[in-house]
């Protein structure tokens, strides 16, 4: 089921959580709402579920007006951040809950119910845990039970609020991949909230970047990463170095670098740490002399922190492992850096 | 790493514990205090009651006026406990699971019976329903007697025991939050289904705990009931009032025999309370565990 969100506004007292949001979630896609805390992403999710009522705007499910539709009638599955499992029920009863509260006519019989729950237990790979209570499960297991419970009623939309937020890094990785696989199997339209850009980029078909109650950019992970629409998105998706760009008049800021086409003296150049080249000797006139002040060799991409000798500004760089080994950088060494892939954004026409 | 740290720091029991002598003195003082003010009186009740043997004890209890007092006490509790149970659960549910205007006022009102002297509580009903009271003439005209009759006693008992269930449930339900109810709602449960299948099971021990306390107070209430009762033997005397009358008549064995019934109720209440407290704590703990990160 596709979701069309039009002009949704939601305020809590003086605080605006959602400011005229427009968004289209195509049927069958896995969409991530990505943003810092307080950006309104969870509120948007709750508005879609019907747990919050918007002050203005409309929500359509497959083109059908659903703004005022009661939560119960929306047919959504919701996975809460802290799982919200019923703590006095076993795993089996938790998963069965949605089926047992159906009106008498639609309620499945005992056999049917057992079949469906067993099927779901198998799906979440917890076949042997049916009689456990939530308190007896690990965080990752609880998360999966919460997911199975949401899926039991065959919702047309699955909504997940920070689904991996409270888990440790390793379990998180596994569950992420598992969720992606699951989605590829059952194809239910899914929206999940996260503040972790890596998570959003890895799992989602489409990423919605939110900031301060507004949508900043919508696109595939690649589009978002390769063509960020504005400085906020660029910044939020990873570390960034800022440089002044050179203009044509010769009255440049100190330490300005050559910008891309169309840059002027007031343009700010954005460069990712992985786009900073480091060399032992200057190769072009644009190379900037710098001193290595910190080397972090651990991690996938070794991180180097440098201080520009001309402006004393700190620049962060990331090197591929082999190059890092070849260079063998040490703190205090003098090297040359060369920013590549410099990006500038049109300044906003706002004061 | 944590084990290393703990072996380096001194064992905490030595730094945090007082010398043996002081520990003994303090514990001894506490126990002596407890014995003097709680245990000795309790034992005294039974000793006095059984002073002349079992037969007079038994006669005092099965005497018609005593039986009437027992019956009336049970009636008062039978009305006030279920009513306050329903009210307490409804109030706690409204206060903790919904946002509405005037919530603070409601919480204050629930506490009112705790902050008012029971005698005043009784007096309020005399002022309202007594012959000289606001509604007195109207009631008299319709031949309804509230004061110095069973309805007044029931009303006064309800008023005094009003806060017990609600007070017990509000903090418990607050700590549980509304996430489980929201989960049930999204899964398609109706209001009643959410209440009976999610909310109530999560607080059931707290409810029982509140009921036990409410019942103990309902049966033991003296002040408020004393004002509205009129002390008519065999008609409007509850157990505590009956004890007082017997005592004032220097009928010590009978007074203490009836009092021993109330003492037994107190002991039963304490035991039940201790058992339930454990369960309630467990319910609170299971919440924190569920939210906590491993």
Q: What is the pLDDT of residue B80?
A: 93
Range 197-236 of B in CB contact (< 8 A) with A: 197-198, 201-202
DSSP bridge pairs for A270:
A242, A343
Structure tokens of B28?
């001894």
Q: What is the pLDDT of residue A350?
A: 37
**Residue B188 and residue A98: Cβ atoms within 8 Å?**
yes
Contacts of B201 in chain A (CB under 8 A): 88
Judged by a CB distance cut-off of 8 A, whether residue B191 touches chain A is: no
The rounded mean pLDDT for chain A is 88
**Residue B188 and residue A150: Cβ atoms within 8 Å?**
no
pLDDT band at B147 (very low <50, low <70, confident <90, very high): confident
Q: What is the pLDDT of residue B131?
A: 79
DSSP state of A304: E
Q: Pick A153's closest partner by Cβ from B183, B187, B287.
A: B187
Contacts of A101 in chain B (CB under 8 A): 184, 187-190, 193, 197
Question: Measuring CA to CA, how many Å separate B260 from each of B36, B66, B191, B257, B273?
Answer: 18, 13, 45, 5, 19
B128 by Cβ neighbours in 10 Å (0-12 / 13-18 / 19+) ranks as: middle
**A13-51: per-residue pLDDT in tens?**
889 999 999 999 999 999 999 999 889 999 999 999 999
ipTM over 0.95: no
Q: Closest approach of chain A CAs to the CA of B79, in angstroms? A: 31
**A110-146: per-residue pLDDT in tens?**
999 999 999 999 988 899 999 999 999 998 899 999 9
Q: What is the pLDDT of residue A300?
A: 79
**B198-226: per-residue pLDDT in tens?**
999 989 888 988 999 999 999 989 989 88
Q: Pick B180's closest partner by Cβ from A84, A152, A166.
A: A84
DSSP state of A350: -
**A284-294: per-residue pLDDT in tens?**
877 889 999 99
**A213-225: per-residue pLDDT in tens?**
999 999 999 999 8
Question: Measuring CA to CA, how many Å separate A195 from each of A9, A11, A200?
Answer: 21, 21, 8
**Residue A78 and residue B183: Cβ atoms within 8 Å?**
yes
**Residue A168 and residue B294: Cβ atoms within 8 Å?**
yes
DSSP bridge pairs for A304:
A295, A317
Q: Assess whether pLDDT exceeds 50 at residue B5.
A: no
**CA B103 – CA B96 distance, rounded (Å):** 10
Q: Which residue has the higher pLDDT, A331 or B292?
A: A331
DSSP bridge pairs for A268:
A244
Q: Pick A134's closest partner by Cβ from B197, B198, B290.
A: B290
Asked whether B201 and B174 are in contact (CB, 8 A), the reply is: no
**Residue B198 and residue A134: Cβ atoms within 8 Å?**
no
Q: Of A152, A157, A150, which Cα lies nearest the Cα of A115?
A: A152
- Percent residues over pLDDT 70 in chain B: 90
**A146-174: per-residue pLDDT in tens?**
999 999 999 999 999 998 877 788 888 88
**B34-67: per-residue pLDDT in tens?**
999 989 988 998 998 888 888 888 988 888 888 9
Q: What is the pLDDT of residue B211?
A: 92
Q: Closest approach of chain B CAs to the CA of A78, in angstroms? A: 7
Q: Which residue has the higher pLDDT, A8 or B6?
A: A8
Contacts of B196 in chain A (CB under 8 A): none
Q: Closest approach of chain B CAs to the CA of A74, in angstroms? A: 8
Judged by a CB distance cut-off of 8 A, whether residue B175 touches chain A is: no
Q: Which residue has the higher pLDDT, B167 or B288?
A: B167
**Residue B189 and residue A97: Cβ atoms within 8 Å?**
yes
Secondary structure of chain B as H, E, C letters: CHHHHHHHCCCHHHHHCCCHHHHHHHHHHHHHHHHHHHHHHHHHHHHHHCCCCHHHHHHHHHCHHHHHHHHHHHHHHHHHHHHHHHHHHHHHHHHHHCCCCCHHHHHHHHHHHHHCCHHHHHHHHHHHHCCCCCCHHHHHHCCCCCCCCHHHHHHHHHHHHCHHHHHHHHHHHHHHCCHHHHHHHHCCCCHHHHHHHHHHHHHHHHHHHHHHHHHHHHHHCCHHHHHHHCCCCCCCCCHHHHHHHHHHCCCHHHHHHHHHHHHHHHHHHHHHHHHHHHHHHHHHHHHHHHHCCC
Mean pLDDT across the stretch A261-274? 82
**Residue B180 and residue A150: Cβ atoms within 8 Å?**
no
Radius of gyration of chain A (CA): 25
**Residue B188 and residue A153: Cβ atoms within 8 Å?**
yes
pLDDT band at A297 (very low <50, low <70, confident <90, very high): confident
Q: Assess whether pLDDT exceeds 80 at residue B294.
A: no
Q: Of A50, A119, A38, which Cα lies nearest the Cα of A78?
A: A50
Contacts of B202 in chain A (CB under 8 A): 87-88
Contacts of A167 in chain B (CB under 8 A): 293
Q: What is the pLDDT of residue B27?
A: 93
Q: What is the pLDDT of residue B142?
A: 85
Q: Pick B293's closest partner by Cβ from A97, A134, A166.
A: A166
**Residue A78 and residue B197: Cβ atoms within 8 Å?**
no
Q: What is the pLDDT of residue B135?
A: 83
- Range of lowest pLDDT (B144-148, B183-187, B280-284): B280-284
Judged by a CB distance cut-off of 8 A, whether residue A102 touches chain B is: yes
Mean pLDDT across the stretch B156-185? 91
Q: Assess whether pLDDT exceeds 60 at residue B3.
A: no
Mean pLDDT across the stretch B117-142? 85
Q: What is the pLDDT of residue B127?
A: 87
**A53-75: per-residue pLDDT in tens?**
999 999 999 988 888 899 888 88
Using DSSP, state whether A143 is helix, strand or coil: helix
**Residue B182 and residue A80: Cβ atoms within 8 Å?**
yes
Most confident listed range (B11-20, B127-136, B156-165): B156-165
Q: Assess whether pLDDT exceeds 90 at residue A208.
A: yes
By C-alpha distance, the chain B residue nearest A82 is: B291
**B73-99: per-residue pLDDT in tens?**
999 999 999 999 999 999 999 999 888
Judged by a CB distance cut-off of 8 A, whether residue B178 touches chain A is: no
Q: What is the pLDDT of residue B283?
A: 65
**Residue A101 and residue B197: Cβ atoms within 8 Å?**
yes
Most confident listed range (A337-351, B136-150, B237-251): B237-251
**Residue A86 and residue B293: Cβ atoms within 8 Å?**
no
Mean pLDDT across the stretch A94-101? 94
């Amino acid at each position: 089921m596709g979701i069309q969100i039009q002009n949704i506004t939601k305020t809590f007292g003086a605080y605006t959580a959602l400011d005229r949001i427009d968004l289209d979630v195509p049927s069958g896609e896995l969409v991530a709402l990505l943003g810092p805390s307080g950006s309104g992403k969870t509120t948007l999710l709750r508005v879609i579920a019907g747990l919050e009522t918007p002050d203005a705007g409309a929500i359509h499910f497959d083109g059908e007006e659903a703004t005022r539709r009661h939560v119960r009638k929306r047919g959504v599955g919701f996975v809460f951040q802290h799982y919200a499992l019923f703590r006095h029920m076993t795993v089996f009863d938790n998963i069965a809950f949605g089926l047992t509260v159906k009106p008498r006519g639609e309620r499945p019989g005992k056999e049917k119910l057992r079949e469906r729950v067993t099927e779901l237990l198998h799906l979440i790979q917890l076949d042997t845990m049916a009689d456990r209570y939530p308190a007896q499960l690990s965080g990752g297991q609880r998360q999966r039970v919460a997911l199975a419970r949401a899926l039991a009623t065959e919702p047309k939309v699955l909504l997940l609020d920070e689904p991996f937020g409270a888990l440790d890094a390793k379990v998180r990785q596994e569950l992420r991949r598992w969720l992606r696989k699951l989605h590829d199997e059952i194809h239910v339209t899914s929206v999940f909230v996260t503040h972790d850009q890596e998570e959003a980029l890895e799992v989602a078909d489409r990423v919605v970047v939110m900031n301060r109650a507004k949508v900043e950019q919508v696109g595939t992970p690649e589009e978002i990463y390769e063509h960020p629409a504005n400085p906020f998105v660029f910044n939020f998706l990873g570390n960034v170095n800022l440089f002044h760009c050179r203009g044509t008049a010769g009255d440049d800021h100190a330490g300005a670098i050559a910008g891309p086409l169309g840059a002027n003296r007031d343009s700010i150049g954005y460069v990712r740490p992985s786009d900073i080249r480091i060399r032992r000797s200057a190769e072009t006139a644009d190379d900037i002399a710098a001193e290595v002040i910190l080397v972090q060799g651990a991690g996938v991409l070794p991180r180097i922190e440098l201080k520009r000798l001309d402006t004393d500004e700190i620049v962060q760089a990331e090197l591929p492992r082999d190059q890092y080994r070849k260079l063998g950088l040490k703190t205090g060494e003098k090297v040359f850096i060369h920013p590549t892939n410099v990006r500038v954004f049109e300044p906003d026409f706002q004061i | 790493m944590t084990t290393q740290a703990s072996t380096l720091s001194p064992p905490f029991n030595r730094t945090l514990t007082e010398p043996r002598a002081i520990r003994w003195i303090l514990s001894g003082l506490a126990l002596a205090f407890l014995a003097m003010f709680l245990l000795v009186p309790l034992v005294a009740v039974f000793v006095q009651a059984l002073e002349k043997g079992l037969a007079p004890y038994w006669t005092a209890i099965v005497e018609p006026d005593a039986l009437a007092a027992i019956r009336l006490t049970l009636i008062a509790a039978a009305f006030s406990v279920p009513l306050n149970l329903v009210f307490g659960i409804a109030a706690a549910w409204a206060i903790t699971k919904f946002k509405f205007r005037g919530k603070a006022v409601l919480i204050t009102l629930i506490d009112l019976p705790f902050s008012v002297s029971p005698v005043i509580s009784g007096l309020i009903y005399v002022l309202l329903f007594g012959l000289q009271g606001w509604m007195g003439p109207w009631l008299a005209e319709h031949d309804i007697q509230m004061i110095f009759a069973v309805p007044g006693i029931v009303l006064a008992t309800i008023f005094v025991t009003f806060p017990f269930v609600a007070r017990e449930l509000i903090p418990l339900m607050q700590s549980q939050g509304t996430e489980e109810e929201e989960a049930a709602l999204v899964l398609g449960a109706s209001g009643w289904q959410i209440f009976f299948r999610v909310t109530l099971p999560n607080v059931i021990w707290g409810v029982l705990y509140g009921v036990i306390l409410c019942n103990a107070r309902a049966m033991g209430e003296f002040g408020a009931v004393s004002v509205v009762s009129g002390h008519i033997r065999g008609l409007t005397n509850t157990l505590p009032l009956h004890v007082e009358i017997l005592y004032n008549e220097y009928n010590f064995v009978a007074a203490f025999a009836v009092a021993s019934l109330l003492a037994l109720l107190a002991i039963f209440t304490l035991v039940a309370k201790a058992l339930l407290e454990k369960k309630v704590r467990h319910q609170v703990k299971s919440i924190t565990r569920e939210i906590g990160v491993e």
